[in-house]
Structure 1
Amino acid sequence: MSGRGFLRALVVVAGLFGAAGVVLAALSAHQPDATRLGSASTMLLFHATVIIGTVLLIERGLVQRVVGLLAAAGFVVGAGLFSGDLVLRQFAGHSLFPMAAPTGGTLLIVGWLVLAVAAVWPGKSA
């Protein structure tokens, strides 16, 4: 996949995360004891915008491209694990795998730190 193709794929994932976040917000409002769904919704909606923002920062050359892509990948995998685990616990009553949500949360933290590194290691056009 070309560099622009990967960036486009990140935007597609962000759109899917955003849609899933809205669906989970609605479900959390209409199901009893659905606090997990609210947390999953927030994580997906928030990181959908962060993924789009990271793509734009990469395109503008404000962050180093490869390091920025690593940060974006961390946001995708981290939010997916965190939210996926919470949704599975809500509907199936079991975890995705042991420590899935904390692993996702840790990847999100690392993604934010990697994004900071990408900003102090600017691209060629910065």
Structure 2
Amino acid sequence: MRRGLAACGAFACALAVGLAAYASHGVEGDARARLSLAAAFAFAHGLALATLAPRCERRLGLVAACALFAGMLLFSGSLAGAALWQWPTTFAPFGGTLLIAGWCAMAIDLARR
């Protein structure tokens, strides 16, 4: 599970680079802003997952990593979907809440080590 989350994090970084490139060259206006933000969040959280997930030794750390992954998918995915296919951003707030909860849980897990 830990290696899978780390691999998904690395893959999210790769997708984020592609999203950022497309945001810079393929769209304009609000779509550019949304794709750029989605790419930034996907890259940052993907990198965090790639580095932190393999080091999660306890259940709380693993739950935190899963929350970060789910939050990243919902937040960045919602923004990218809105920019690319005019989907509503309904899931972005839930994704953001999961990201906040995941980071809080990760902080607690790291402090307990």
TM-score (norm 2): 0.90
Give the structure 2 partner of residue 53 of structure 1.
Answer: 51
Give the structure 1 partner of residue 61 of structure 2.
Answer: 68
Greater helix proportion = 2
2:95 pairs with 1:104? yes
- Which has the larger displacement, 48-57 or 17-26? 48-57
The whole-number CA distance in structure 2 between the counterparts of 1:55 and 1:89 is 29
**8 Å contact kept, 2:39–2:76:** yes
Give the structure 1 partner of residue 28 of structure 2.
Answer: 32
**8 Å contact kept, 2:8–2:50:** no
1:50-109 deviation digits (Å, cap 9, x = unpaired): 112212432xxxxx511110110011000100011011111111226x3x1011011000
The whole-number CA distance in structure 2 between the counterparts of 1:79 and 1:89 is 15
Which protein has the larger Cα radius of gyration, Structure 1 or Structure 2?
1
Give the structure 2 partner of residue 3 of structure 1.
Answer: none
Stretches of structure 2 lacking an aligned partner (at least 5 in a row): none
Report deviation, 1:49: 1.2
Aligned Cα root-mean-square deviation (Å):
1.3
From 13, 16, 24, give the equivalent of 1:21. Answer: 16
**8 Å contact kept, 2:2–2:54:** no
Identity %: 31
| Count of equivalent residues | 110
From 75, 93, 107, give the equivalent of 1:82. Answer: 75
1:4-40 deviation digits (Å, cap 9, x = unpaired): xx11101220122011100110011012121100000
The list of structure 1 runs, each at least 4 consecutive aligned residues, that deviate by more than 6 angstroms after superposition, is none
Stretches of structure 1 lacking an aligned partner (at least 5 in a row): 1-5, 59-63
- The one-letter code matched in structure 1 to 2:23 is S
